[in-house]
Amino acid sequence: MSSTEAKVAHVWRRLGFGPGPDDVAAGVAAGGAAATIENLLSRPAPPVANWQWPGGTVNNAAMNDATRLVELMATSYPQVRERIAWILQGILVIAWGEVIGPAEMETHLNTLRSWPGRTYKDLLSAIVRSFGMQWYLSGIGSAPPHPNQNLARELMELFSLGVTDPRTGLTNYTQADVQEIARALTGFQVNWSTRVMTWQSASWDSGAKTFLGSARGAAGVTQVIDAIAAHPSFRHFIPRRLYVELVGLEPSAAALDQLATVWGSTGNIAAVVAAIARRPEFVSDAAIRSRVKSPVELVVSTMRVLGVKEFSHLSLWWVLTNLRQHPFMPPNVSGWPAGKAWLHAGTLVNWSGPVQWITFSDSGAPNVPANLQLPTVRRLFNQGSSATGGDLALKLAGLYDVSSQTLSAVRAYAASGAWTYPRAAATMCLVLQSPEFYVN
C-alpha cells in the first residue's frame, strides 16, 4: 500500500506538474491526499487574460513562447489550470506552421487557458471559429459546391464525439454527416494583406442540411455545435479522455455514467475534473505511477523540483525539440504520442544531456545572481551529507516508496566521495533520471 507521502506527491503530479520540495510535507501536515486535492481544486484561477507571451519574429516566438509556456506551467499557483490546459492542448490541436504563427498560437493558448470559467461547448465553438483551427484543418476558403471535409471530420472524431461512443460502442456519425457538416462550416475567408478572417455569407452553403439524425435547415456553425452537444456521446467522450489523463486508467461504465451527468449538455469541465479527483480510484495504488511523463511533463516537473526562477537562459525550446515534443509542433491533429510511447532509449539518452545542463546551470558559487540560483540543489548541499544526501535528494524531488535498486544507486553515489556542491548537484541529476521520476 502506498504511503501517505506517495499519495500526496501523486496528487500533485496528476492535478499539476509535480510537487515542489516542500509541497508533500505541507500536504501530509494538512491531512494527506484528500486535503491536497481540495487545496489544489480550490485555488482561484485569474480571469481571462493574455499571459504575456514574449512573441517576436516567427522563429524567435517559437523559442520565446515555448519557454514562457513552460514557465507558466512550472510556476503558476493554480496548477490545476495548467494541467487541464495542457490536456486540452493535446485534444483541440493546432500546429505551428507556414501560416499559423505567433499570433494564432497565442490566441489558441489564451482560449485553452481560459477553461476554468468556460464550458467545453463554449471552447469548442470559439476554437472552431478561430483563424488557427480554420487554417490548420482547411476551413478557410472552404465553399460550395465542394467544401473541404477536414474540419467537419476532426470536429466529431477527435474534438467532441469519437468514432464510437466509449460507453455504448455505437457508431457516432456517418460519412454523410461529415459531408453535411462540411457544408455548414463553409464561409470563412481571409484578407491576406491584413490577416483578418471573416465569415462571408456569399461563400457559405445556405441550403438545407441533415446531420446527426435530424434535418437542421440552413445550418451554420452554431447549429453544428448545438447538434454535437446534444449527441449522447458528447457526455462521454471528453470526460473519458479527462479521466484517462488524470487517473491513468480506463473508467468503469458506472464511473463514466456518473461523469456524463456532471458534464451535462454544455460540458462542465471544472465540475468533471473535480469529480474525477474526488473518486477513490484517483489515489489508488493502481493509479499511482500508472502513466509515463511526456517530455514536456518531464521538463516542467524538473523546473518545479529545482525551484527554477529564471527560464530564459536554459534553452528550453531546444531541450523540448531535442526530446521530440515541442509544445507548438504536434505531429498531426491527433496530438502527441502518450504513455509508454515515450518510454524508450531515445528519451532516456536525449534527456541525459539537458538534465545535466539544467541541474549544473547554477555553479553554487555565492556570486551567482539570485534569479539564476537553483535553491533545491543548494538546499541539498547545505542540509545533506554523504550519508544522507541520497535520501534527501529523493525527498526533495517528491519521490517516495522508490524501488530498492533506485534507493541503493542514489545512496551509493551520494556516499562515493566528499560531499561537495558538484556531488550534490550530480546526486539530484541522478534522481531526475531515475525510473520513478520518469513516471507520473
Residue 239: which of 254, 251, 224 has the closest Cα? 251
pLDDT digits (tens, 9 = 90+) for 64-92: 999 999 999 999 999 999 999 999 999 99
**Cβ proximity of 407 and 259 under 8 Å:** no
- Is the pLDDT assigned to residue 182 strictly greater than 80? yes
Q: What's the rounded mean pLDDT across residues 18-25?
A: 97
The pTM of the full predicted model, rounded to 2 decimals, is 0.96
The percent of residues above 70 in pLDDT, for the chain, comes to 100
Choose between 278 and 59: higher pLDDT. 278
Whole-number CA gyration radius for the chain = 23
The amino acid at residue 158 is L
Q: What is the pLDDT of residue 83?
A: 98
Q: What is the pLDDT of residue 193?
A: 85
Q: What is the pLDDT of residue 345?
A: 87
Q: What's the rounded mean pLDDT across residues 358-377?
A: 96
Cell numbers at residue 39, please?
487545496
Q: How far apart are CA 324 and CA 350, in angstroms?
A: 9
Cis peptide before 145 (omega within 30 of 0): yes
**Cβ proximity of 173 and 212 under 8 Å:** yes
Q: What is the pLDDT of residue 57?
A: 81
> What confidence tier does 347 reach under pLDDT thresholds 50, 70, 90?
confident
Query: Domain residues of the chain, as ranges?
Result: 1-42, 49-283, 295-438
> What confidence tier does 298 reach under pLDDT thresholds 50, 70, 90?
very high
- Is the pLDDT assigned to residue 185 strictly greater than 80? yes
CA dihedral 97, 101, 107, 112 (to 10 degrees): 30
Q: How far apart are CA 84 and CA 73, in angstroms?
A: 11
- Is the pLDDT assigned to residue 344 strictly greater than 90? no
- Is the pLDDT assigned to residue 346 strictly greater than 90? no
> What confidence tier does 417 reach under pLDDT thresholds 50, 70, 90?
very high
Q: What is the pLDDT of residue 99?
A: 85
249 DSSP 8-state letter: S
Q: How far apart are CA 324 and CA 296, in angstroms?
A: 9
Q: What is the pLDDT of residue 239?
A: 98
> What confidence tier does 387 reach under pLDDT thresholds 50, 70, 90?
very high
Give the range among 193-202, 212-221, 254-263, 296-305 with minimum mean pLDDT: 193-202
The amino acid at residue 399 is L
Which residue carries 541539498 as its cell?
A: 380
Which string of DSSP letters, residue by residue, matches 370-421? GGG--HHHHHHHHH--TTTHHHHHHHHTT--S--HHHHHHHHHHHTSS---H
The amino acid at residue 312 is S
Q: What is the pLDDT of residue 343?
A: 87
**Cβ proximity of 68 and 52 under 8 Å:** yes
Q: What is the pLDDT of residue 37?
A: 98
CA atoms within 13 Å, Cβ hemisphere of 235? 17
Q: What is the pLDDT of residue 416?
A: 96
pLDDT digits (tens, 9 = 90+) for 280-292: 999 999 999 999 9
Q: Average pLDDT over the chain, rounded to whole?
A: 95
C-alpha torsion sign, points 74, 78, 80, 84: negative
Which residue carries 477536414 as its cell?
A: 150
**Cβ proximity of 231 and 212 under 8 Å:** yes
Q: What is the pLDDT of residue 56?
A: 81
264 sits in which H/E element = none
Cell numbers at residue 245, please?
489523463
- Is the pLDDT assigned to residue 194 strictly greater than 80? yes
- Is the pLDDT assigned to residue 49 strictly greater than 90? no
- Is the pLDDT assigned to residue 340 strictly greater than 90? no
- Is the pLDDT assigned to residue 19 strictly greater than 90? yes
Choose between 14 and 339: higher pLDDT. 14
- Is the pLDDT assigned to residue 192 strictly greater than 90? no
Q: What is the pLDDT of residue 66?
A: 93
- Is the pLDDT assigned to residue 59 strictly greater than 80? no
pLDDT digits (tens, 9 = 90+) for 102-125: 889 999 999 999 999 999 999 999
**Cβ proximity of 73 and 82 under 8 Å:** yes
